[in-house]
C-alpha cells in the first residue's frame, strides 16, 4: 500500500493519473446523473414489462457514464499532448480543439442520451454567451432581463409545440403532450383525476 500511495503522490505521475481519475469521475458522474433521471422518467412515462424498463434504465446509465468517461479521457489526453508540443505552455485554443475532437468522437450519434447531454450544454453556452456582453460592459442588464428571456423561450417553445412539434426533442414533446394535450381529454372521473388516459 505504501508503494501505491507513493506512486499516486509522485508529481511525475500526475498527468497520467489525472487521465485515470478523469475517466473514473466521468463514469461516476454519468451514473449519478443518468440513473435517477432514467429511473424516474421510465416509470413515469414508459409502458411495458418491468424487465424492459430495468434494462432501459441500465443501458441509458451505462451510455451516459461511458460517454462522459471517454470524453474526459480524450479531452485531457489532447490538452496534455498539445501542452507537451508547446513545451509546457497551454494554448488559448487547446480546450476548444480538444472539446471539438472529443465531442465529435464521443457524441456523434444522435440518440436520446447524447441528445439530452448536447442540448443541456447548448442551453448553458447560450446563457454564457448572453452574459458575456453584460460582463464586458457592452450592455447593461436590467432587473427584467431574465423575465424577458424566460418569456421569449416559453413563447418560442409553445409556438413550436402548437405548430411544429416534430422539431422538438422527443422527451420534451412527450412532456408537453402530457401537460397540454392530454389535459384536454377524459371520459370519466377515473381518467379525469387518477389516470391520464
Q: Which residues contact 14 (CB under 8 A, 6 or more apart)?
A: none
| 79 band by pLDDT with thresholds 50, 70 and 90 | very high
Say whether both 32 and 77 belong to one domain.
Answer: yes
Domain span at residue 7? 2-139
The per-residue b/e assignment along 86-118, b for 16 or more CB within 10 angstroms, e otherwise, is eeeeeeeebeeebbeebbeebbeeeebbbebbe
Say whether both 105 and 18 belong to one domain.
Answer: yes
Say whether both 127 and 162 belong to one domain.
Answer: no
Q: CA-to-CA distance for 183 and 109, rounded, in angstroms?
A: 34
- Domains held by the chain: number: 2
Say whether both 170 and 86 belong to one domain.
Answer: no
Say whether both 135 and 190 belong to one domain.
Answer: no
Say whether both 79 and 45 belong to one domain.
Answer: yes
Q: What is the pLDDT of residue 122?
A: 94
Q: What is the pLDDT of residue 187?
A: 87
Q: CA-to-CA distance for 186 and 15, rounded, in angstroms?
A: 61
Say whether both 152 and 174 belong to one domain.
Answer: yes
Say whether both 49 and 131 belong to one domain.
Answer: yes
pTM: 0.79
Say whether both 103 and 158 belong to one domain.
Answer: no
Q: What is the pLDDT of residues 4-19, one digit of tens each?
A: 999 999 999 999 999 9
SS3 per-residue string spanning the chain: CHHHHHHHHCHHHHHHHHHHHHHHHHHHHHHHHHHHHHHHHHHHHCCCCHHHHHHHHHHHHHHHHHHHHHHHHHHHHHHHHHHHHCCCCCCCCHHHHHHHHHHHHHHCCCCHHHHHHHHHHHHHHHHHHHHHHHHCCCCCCCCCHHHHHHHHHHHHHHHHHHHCHHHCCHHHHHHHHHHHHHHHCCCCHHHHHHCCC
Structural domain ending residue among the three candidates 89, 104, 139: 139
Say whether both 146 and 172 belong to one domain.
Answer: yes
Say whether both 34 and 104 belong to one domain.
Answer: yes
Q: What is the pLDDT of residues 95-154, one digit of tens each?
A: 999 999 999 999 999 998 999 999 999 999 998 888 888 889 888 888 888 888 889 999
Say whether both 100 and 168 belong to one domain.
Answer: no
Amino acid at each position: 500500500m505504501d508503494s501505491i500511495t507513493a506512486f499516486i503522490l509522485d508529481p511525475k505521475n500526475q498527468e497520467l493519473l489525472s487521465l485515470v481519475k478523469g475517466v473514473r469521475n466521468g463514469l461516476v458522474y454519468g451514473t449519478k446523473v443518468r440513473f435517477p433521471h432514467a429511473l424516474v422518467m421510465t416509470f413515469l412515462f414508459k409502458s411495458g414489462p418491468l424487465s424492459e424498463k430495468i434494462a432501459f434504465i441500465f443501458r441509458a446509465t451505462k451510455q451516459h457514464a461511458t460517454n462522459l468517461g471517454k470524453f474526459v479521457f480524450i479531452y485531457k489526453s489532447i490538452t496534455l499532448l498539445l501542452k507537451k508540443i508547446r513545451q509546457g505552455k497551454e494554448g488559448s485554443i487547446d480546450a476548444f480543439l480538444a472539446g471539438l475532437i472529443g465531442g465529435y468522437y464521443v457524441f456523434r450519434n444522435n440518440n436520446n442520451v447524447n441528445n439530452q447531454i448536447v442540448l443541456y450544454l447548448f442551453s448553458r453556452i447560450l446563457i454564457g454567451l448572453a452574459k458575456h456582453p453584460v460582463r464586458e460592459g457592452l450592455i447593461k442588464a436590467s432587473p427584467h432581463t431574465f423575465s424577458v428571456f424566460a418569456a421569449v423561450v416559453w413563447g418560442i417553445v409553445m409556438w413550436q409545440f402548437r405548430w411544429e412539434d416534430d422539431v422538438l426533442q422527443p422527451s420534451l414533446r412527450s412532456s408537453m403532450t402530457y401537460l397540454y394535450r392530454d389535459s384536454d381529454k377524459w371520459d370519466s372521473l377515473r381518467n379525469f383525476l387518477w389516470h391520464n388516459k
